[in-house]
Amino acid sequence: MLKNIPPILSPELLKVLCEMGHSDRICIGDGNFPGAAMAKAGGAIFLRADGHGVPELLDAILQVIPLDTYVEKPAILMEKMDRDKDLNIPVWETYKDIVSKYDSRGAEAVGNIDRFDFYDEAKKCYCIIQTGETQIYANIILQKGVI
């Protein structure tokens, strides 16, 4: 056991977060996200976090890594498809609140990109985490900064 480390962060995930350098990215995918396929396609490390939600992991990860201050939007969400335009995605506000706890830019540090662009960006991530999150459009990519 380590002191002051959120217990939701597994040893494997802590190792990945430590290995990541400035501008490396990590994707936290919801339960519907094709994480294994994306990781295989892009050569990313693939980790499972079954039984955990994205908000809890996001909060824990941001306790130990900074977001990149050299880019405008170091936290990226998957934009809704046109057919889902009327869906309310409350988890996005939760993400903005969590990011605001750890980054002085607050919600301004969070951006959205098209679903298929998100997939392309996920394939470029250092690591993809597959969670058990049941909310849809609950995927997020974080870009690591410097301490």
Active site residues: 22, 68, 119
Q: Residue 104 and residue 115: Cα distance in Å, rounded?
A: 27
Helices (H), the chain: 11-19, 35-42, 54-64, 91-102, 115-123
Owner of token pair 């094709």: 34
Give the CB-side neighbour count of residue 85, counting CA atoms within 13 A.
Answer: 2
Q: Residue 140 and residue 96: Cα distance in Å, rounded?
A: 11
- 41 touches 124 (CB < 8 A): no
- 55 touches 91 (CB < 8 A): yes
**Residue 6 structure tokens:** 């959120």
